[in-house]
């Protein structure tokens, strides 16, 4: 994973008030819960006393209570009670659970994966996906590293082969360009595929940036959208589970249907359709080796892979810039 980034890791509705949610993300076991004000809390799912899973405990007076010996921790991770020592006994500072900076925004729960700091940046989202849109969400597990899942959504040459009977209809196999531009940690991709009539594909260097908005947009480190139309978008948050697994949060955003019940129905049907199409990708992506992608793994890339190359290059730059001495 890229350090010092906000990662979308859960749908907000997965963490209800009064409930503890144990989940594996970023290669770490986490427990998510809400404090008395409804603010999201993310902690390592491990009691510092004897290593028990805090997610098996309960919430008590605004604190999380370990199921093993009743130790209680506040949202910052500070231990506030060791029952065996007596309720009025002082608590040594060493008994501290690991708490991560967290935010609940845009219907997603975000974790700050890096060194804590006072001036945390805003979470990376798309400004045009505002409150005017309604959406439906479908969550699905992929046995693939999140870098492979992201690459798949930046791959503009696979559609006629993976999605023959869905979004790849039309057999547009020739890839002109594509044009891909990186701006402030957001990758924009314009797709200009054509049917093969014997012509040679135009190279990325020979195609000018179009004067219309990009079809595909990816914001580092792990959110993507497909702008199908001004009032219709497909969105994915690629939540890393570990080095070999990803939870895909697929969303169907729309604002052309405004009648409440019909709006929700259309969003839900759209989310199911997203999952069907993503399932066509999943069947192949999970077979890719090695599991974690990169520019130096021996793959032979072609001009149509330019968006993937830009993604991998910038991903490497962000990892290098963050340094390698931070440990969660």
Return the pLDDT at 324: 66
Backbone angles phi, psi at 302, to 5 degrees: -120, 170
**Dihedral angle at the C-alpha atoms of 213, 214, 220, 222, nearest 10 degrees?**
120
Return the pLDDT at 168: 85
Question: Percentage helix, strand, coil, to 5, in the chain?
Answer: 20, 35, 45
Is 285 a residue whose pLDDT tops 70?
yes
User: CA 78 to CA 92: how far, in whole Å?
Assistant: 10
Contacts of 101 (CB under 8 A, 6+ apart): 42, 111, 112, 116, 120
Query: Which 3 state secondary structure label does DSSP give 285?
Result: helix
User: CA 254 to CA 135: how far, in whole Å?
Assistant: 6
Rounded average pLDDT over 116-139? 94
CATH says 5-113 is which class?
mainly beta
CATH says 134-322 is which class?
alpha beta
Give residue limits of the domains in the chain. Answer: 5-113, 134-322
User: CA 41 to CA 24: how far, in whole Å?
Assistant: 15
Is 326 a residue whose pLDDT tops 90?
no
Query: Which 3 state secondary structure label does DSSP give 268?
Result: helix
Whether 189 and 180 have beta carbons less than 8 Å apart is answered as yes
Tokens of 123: 């979470």
The 10s digit of each residue's pLDDT in 135-170 is 999 999 999 999 999 999 999 999 999 999 899 888
């Amino acid at each position: 994973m890229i350090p010092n980034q906000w990662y979308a890791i859960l749908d907000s509705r997965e963490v209800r008030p009064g409930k503890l949610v144990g989940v594996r993300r970023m290669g770490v076991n986490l427990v998510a819960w809400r404090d008395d004000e409804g603010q999201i809390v993310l902690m390592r799912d491990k009691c510092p006393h004897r290593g028990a899973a805090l997610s098996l405990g309960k919430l008590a007076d605004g604190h999380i209570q370990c199921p093993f010996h009743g130790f209680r921790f506040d949202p910052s991770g500070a231990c506030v009670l060791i029952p065996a020592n007596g309720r009025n006994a002082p608590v040594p500072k060493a008994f501290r659970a690991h708490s991560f900076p967290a935010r609940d925004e845009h219907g997603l729960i975000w974790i700050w994966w890096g060194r804590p700091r006072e001036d945390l940046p805003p979470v990376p989202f798309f400004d045009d996906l505002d409150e005017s849109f309604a959406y439906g969400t479908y969550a699905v597990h992929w046995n693939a590293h999140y870098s492979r899942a992201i690459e798949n959504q930046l791959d503009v040459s696979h559609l006629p082969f993976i999605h023959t009977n869905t979004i790849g209809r039309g057999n547009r196999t020739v890839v002109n360009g594509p044009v891909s531009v990186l701006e402030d940690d957001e990758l924009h991709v314009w797709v200009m595929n054509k049917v093969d009539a014997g012509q040679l594909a135009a190279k990325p260097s020979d195609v000018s940036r179009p004067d219309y908005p990009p079809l595909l947009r990816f914001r580092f480190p792990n959110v993507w959208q497909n702008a199908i139309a001004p009032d219709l978008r497909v969105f994915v948050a690629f939540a890393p589970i570990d080095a070999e697994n990803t939870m895909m949060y697929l969303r169907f955003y729309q604002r052309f249907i405004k009648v409440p019940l019909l709006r929700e129905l259309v969003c839900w049907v759209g989310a199911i359709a997203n999952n069907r199409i993503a399932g066509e990708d999943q069947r192949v992506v999970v077979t890719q080796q090695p599991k974690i992608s990169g520019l130096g793994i021996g793959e032979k890339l072609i001009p149509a892979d330019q968006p993937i190359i830009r993604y991998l290059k910038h991903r490497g730059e962000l990892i290098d810039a963050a340094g390698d001495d931070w440990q969660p």
